[in-house]
Chain A
C-alpha cells in the first residue's frame, strides 16, 4: 500500500555558500564539510527533523570534529547531487546502514542508486521526478531492495538549490527510513478494517444481538443490531435504555427466565429458550445465548445477548411430536400387535396389544435384538407346533390368506394363554423393520367350529341314511316274509322321518342365524294364549302324562313372535318328556325377577344332567343321552336359545343328574300393566 506523499512544510531554502561540494571519491575538506553540514541542517530544520536531535543552529561556527560526530549520528541519509543528476556530490555515512552497502559503492553512478528502488515503485518514481524540476522540490515515498533480501520504506525529499542568480547549483536530499511507521500504519488500517468487518457482520447477521449495561441497576439495552429489529419488530432506536424483560410481556412464568437470572447473578454465560413476543404481539421462540463482558478487575460490565428465532424449528418439532403422539395413539389403540426395530436392529417400540397378546412387557423386550425377541416368542409357543424363525418369516407382501394357505407364519402361543397369532414382517429400506401380529384365535376357532358343525351335520344325516339305504337294499335283494317286510319298511319310514326332522331343524337354525330374526313377526302380545296353545297342540305319542300348568291369574305382555315362541316352548316340553322316560311330573309355570322380566319355566323329574353335560347342552348336536335310546337331533335346545335371544331374552338351565331338569325362558315384560286372565 502506497502512501500519498505529504506536502512538505519546508520553504525554498538558500544556502549561504553556493560552492559545490567536492566530487565524491576525493577527500572532503573541513570547510566543505562544514558547508555541507550547514546545508543539511537547514534542510533538516525545514523538514522538522532537527528537533529530533535536539540541535539548535549555533551562532558560532561549529568545530569540524563536532560536525563529523553529528553527521555520524544522524539516522537519515543526507546527500547532494549535481543539478543535472549525473553526479553524486555527497552522501552521509548513515547511507551505509540504510542501504546496507559501502559508501564508495553508493557514491558511484546515480543510476545504480535508481536501480536500488524496488521494481514496483521504480516507474512511479521515474514518472514523478519531473515534478522536481517543475516545482523545485519533491517528496517521494518508495521501497528499496536490500542486499539481504528485505525491503525498506524510504521517504525521500529533494530540493533544487539555486544561487543568487537563480541558477540551479545542486540538488540536496534527505532520505528517511520510514519502514516502522509504514508497518504501524498498515497494522492500524488492518485493525480498523477488521473492526469495520465485525461491525458489518453484526449489522448483517440474522441473529439479534443486544448489549446491556450491567453497571446500571435497570440493565438497559445500550446496543441492538438490525437483526434484533427484524426478529422482534421493535425499532432499534425504541429499545435503547429498556430492560430486555419487555420482550416477555406478561409471560413471566418461564423456566428459562429463572435459569437466565441465575446465570446473570453468577456472572456466567448460558443458553435458554424463551417465549418472547414481537411488537405485533405474536409469539416467537427465542433461543437466547448470553455471555458476560468483564473489565480489568473481572467485574461484569456488560452482557452480550444473541437471539435466535427458532419459532419455525419449534413449530416443526411440535408438529413432529403431534404426529408421533397421533401415531402412538393409533398404535396404542390398535387391536393388532406391533413391534418396530430401529436401524441398529434393536427393538425400539412395542404397542400395548403386543404386550396383551404375548405378555411381554416393553421393559422386557426394548433393546432386544431380532434373535433375542425371536427366542422369547418361541419360548411362549407350543413346542409341538412348527415355528419359523423371524429370518425365515415371509414378508408382508403375502396376504394373510396366502400365508395361512401355505401353513405360513402362524404362531401357536401357549403363554400367557392359548392363542393363535398371525405374524408378518415388513422390512424398510435401511434395515428398519416392523413386526405385525394379529390375533386370529377367534377366526380359527370359528373356522374349526364351522368345519366341525359341517362334519357333525353330515354324520347326523348319514346315520339315518344308512338305515334307509341299507334296509331298502335288503328288501330289494332278498325275499322276506310279510311281517319282516313291514317291520323293515316301518324302520325305513321312521329313519326317513328322523332325516326330515333333522333337516328342518338345521334349516331353522340356519335361517335364524342368517336372517338374525329379520323374518320374525315380533309384536307385543299377551303370553297366556301362546303358552296355552303350545300345551294344547303338543303331541306326545305313547305317553299318558299331561303337562301340569301353573300360571298366575295375570300374565304380562311381551314382544315376541307367537309362532316362534310356541316352537321354542314345544322343544322344551318335548325334551322334558324325552328325558323323563321313567315318568314324573312335567310342569310349566312362571317366575319373575326384580329386573322386570318374566320367566316361563318347564321342569321335569327325569334323568337330569351331570355338570359336564349341563355345560355342553347348548352345543349343536350334543346329546345328553348316551344310550342312544332317546331320539333327537341335538339341535332342539340350540334352537330355543337362538329364538329367545332374538326376542332379547335369555335361557337358563338348571339340572341335577338323576333328579330332573328345569329350563326357564326369560323375557322382558313389554308393559307394566298386566292383562287380566
Chain B
C-alpha cells in the first residue's frame, strides 16, 4: 500500500516544492492552503504523514492543527512534521507541546525532507 502525505502550507511555491520533492514511487500527495482545510483533509484522508506549516493565515495555525490531530483518537498513528520559519528554542518547545513528531526549519533541503519522511515511515511500520 502506498504512502499518503498531506501538505498544509499557505505558500503555493512551498507546496509545489514539497510535492516535487516527495512525489515519486507509490506516494499519494494532498494539499491544503490553510489550517482548517488541512484538519478537515487529515480527518477525511487519514494520511501517514502531515507536513504542517506553523504560520498560516486563518483561524488555525500549525500548532493548533497539530494539537487537534494528536488529540483525535481516530487519527492515531498519523505523524506530524512541523515546518517552521523560526527555529528558536521556544518555537520548537511549543511544537513538542503540541505533540509533533518532527520539525523542519525553513529553508530546508529537500534531502532533509526525504530523510525525515523516510525515518517516520520506518518508525510507523516498526
**Residues of A bordering B, CB below 8 Å:** 455, 458-460, 462-463, 465-471, 473-474, 477, 488, 491, 494-495, 623, 625-629
Contacts and interface: CB of A to CB of B under 8 A. Distances in A.
A474 B55 contact: no
Contacts of A463: 11, 14, 85, 106
B108 A466 contact: yes
Contacts of A626: 34, 57-58
B11 A469 contact: no
A450 to B, nearest CB: 15
Interface of B: 10-14, 16-17, 20-21, 33-34, 55, 57-58, 85-86, 88, 105-111
A628 B55 CA distance: 12
Nearest to B16: A491
Contacts of B10: 627-628
Contacts of A459: 55, 85-86
Given A455-B86, A458-B86, A627-B33, A467 B57 contact: no
A465 B13 CA distance: 11
Contacts of B16: 491
Contacts, number: 73
A473 B85 contact: no
A189 B4 CA distance: 131
9 contacts: A455-B88, A465-B107, A466-B17, A467-B17, A470-B110, A473-B109, A477-B111, A491-B13, A626-B34
Nearest to B109: A473
B85 A458 contact: yes
Contacts of B111: 473, 477
Contacts of A467: 11, 13-14, 17, 107
Closest 6 CB pairs of A and B: A469-B107, A466-B107, A626-B57, A459-B85, A628-B10, A462-B85
Q: Which of B13, B105, B111 has the most CB of A within 10 A?
A: B13
A477 B113 CA distance: 14
A473 B20 CA distance: 11
Contacts of B106: 462-463, 465-466
Most B-side CB within 10 Å, residue of A466, A474, A623 = A466
Contacts of B11: 463, 466-467, 628
Given A626-B34, A626-B57, A468 B107 contact: yes
A462 B108 CA distance: 10
A292 B87 CA distance: 94
Contacts of A488: 20
A494 B14 CA distance: 13
A471 B17 contact: yes
Nearest to A492: B13
Contacts of A494: 13
> Among the interface residues B14, B88, B111, which one has the most CB atoms of the partner chain A within 10 A?
B14
Nearest to A476: B110
Contacts of A465: 106-107
A633 to B, nearest CB: 14
A225 B45 CA distance: 115
B33 A469 contact: no
A477 B58 CA distance: 35
Nearest to A628: B10
